[in-house]
Structure 1
Amino acid sequence: MSSTNNEKQMLDLAEKLGMPASDFSATMHLLRLNEIHIVDMLPEMLLMIRSVIAEETFIYKRKPVNTVTKGLLFSFQNIFNHSSNNHTYQYSEKSLQARPHIRVTPLHLESEVVFPKGLTITQITILIEFDFLKSFIGKDQETFRYLFDDEKTFLIEEFMSPEMADLVTEIAGTPVSGILSEAYYKLRALELLYLLFKNLSKRQYVQYQSLRGDEIAALYRVRDAISFSLDDPLTQDELVKISGMNVLKLRKLFKQIFGKGIYEYCQYLRMKEAARLMQEKHLSVSEAGYQLGFTNLSYFGRLFEQHFGMKPKKWSAQHGLKGK
């Protein structure tokens, strides 16, 4: 499909969702749309698959969606070709946008999307109406009642599991058209949501509170600071200073968005980075541990086992890598 047709689809979609096309067209020239595929099943659901590259780094501010009065937006980003046997993803060490993740936002929330220059961003976005989602969840909807409180402004970010990554890669891989294509995409979208909700159900319960835009921005500054200092983790006091919040508020709101405590989140990222260093950079176990700031390799090994279910040497051996 030509880039002109891709752009027209994006602008038509913006208008359909009550988002002025003029707002979007102002930045359209900065994006190269490699692919876009829209499956319109509104008023219940809409699915969009797109792959874009930014010519320059810019921030797009998404306006509230007002066509669907009450609903949620699920953005599964980024999708990479990867081996389902090892589930280690390719991404730039310096780009948080490229790490596979899911973001959940209410339709009435204005949000910002960062498009870094030269980075291919591939997304599956699912827009879904409250009542349809509630009927899908059924009797378990009480577990996720915080998602349906349209009086509160919230944002949730979740790591993409290997199982979800396989499914989104499959959905984005080859467009399906013709008879029953809408049924296919509806089924796959619901399967993807099932996997996400299964993960969300494991989150420790917190009393969700409404968030202001500046609080969301502050929490992402903290997240970014953690992610860029994995070899020398920042102290709690340093993170408190970055956030501009008191420590109790920071801990509570960080866990509300990211589903993990600050320390747990940091260690999770360090273990994912250790696996990446061993697989992509061909570092040995000890080299990966030292590069991430661990002076006690036994402690590093225990943490790795907690996250991957096996010692790093065994993990390396299973992947045909250095084991020392």
Structure 2
Amino acid sequence: MTRRNTHISLSPPEQHHTSEKEPALPEGMTLQRVKLRRGLDLILVEGKPLQPGSLTMETGEVPFEFSFHLSGHTHYTVNHDKGELCFTGHPGLGVASAFPRSQATMTFAADLPIRMVALHVTPAFFRDYLEAPGETPGYPEFDQAMDQGSFPHCFKTIPADPAMTVAASQLLHCPYKGVGKKMFYESRALDLIAMQLDASAPPSFGKGAAPFTPKELDRIQKARTHLSRNLENPPTLAELAKTAGMNHTKLNRGFKEVYGTTVFGYLRRYRLNRSRTLIESGEMNLCEIAYATGFSSPSHFAKAFLNHFGIQPSLYLKQVMARQTISLPQGPQP
């Protein structure tokens, strides 16, 4: 099968104020840019390439990029003035990066769906929000951008939680037109940036609580990862504590301080948010979703979903299939 290579520029054209399609994309794929406000562009990539190939993108001094991979596996090679970086994009991956004066090549296979969302921001965008240095502790690069007018090199990977995945999916399936569409895009884009910043921030602790050591925080995060990867057969609290290398009392207290709930409160919340993501994706029916997320029966799942979100999963599925906007109370996210 012939491989097709395509070259485009993703440097945001300042004169564009409406949504437009980028030219010369591989057959079967679309790339859409939406200029939302000063310094904030939305990039939507979706499709199923009819043949293997690559997409080469260039940037100048800016932007800083937040990207969210929803489906497909793509390989990236980024060449910049400090060297070369290679990584693989996969479902559930969030990336925050800045590569001034760089060229990135995305390589993909044929007949595999690719869905991803990227947000390009400039220092001008953050000047509208930041009042003083240090307001984004997970991103010291922003302070440098405010001071020097350009972003330094940066590459961070952050697993996209269910709330991020839902918001990114909604950007690809906006139900509105005209000015309502642009407002919807902007609100979801800001949600995604806020969630990415929050996920990168150092953990905060309750009033009067003794802070945990960096080693203990690593163990708590290790326990969280292990719990999230074993939804169908979750470990007991004692087993999880042993995996993390902590006693179960301190582990439970750590979850309350870092994630705002107990170990199994976190598990329940994660299961429900994961189930909502699966409903959004359309990859499973409700019965399959119930068992895939660790519920003992579809009826148990339906009751838990209703109690958490205030709507039956069957009704939510109908709304999603009709591509109608529905407001779900977010609650605290895992």
- Short-chain TM bin: 0.3 to 0.5
Q: Going by fraction, where is helix more abundant, 1 or 2?
A: 1
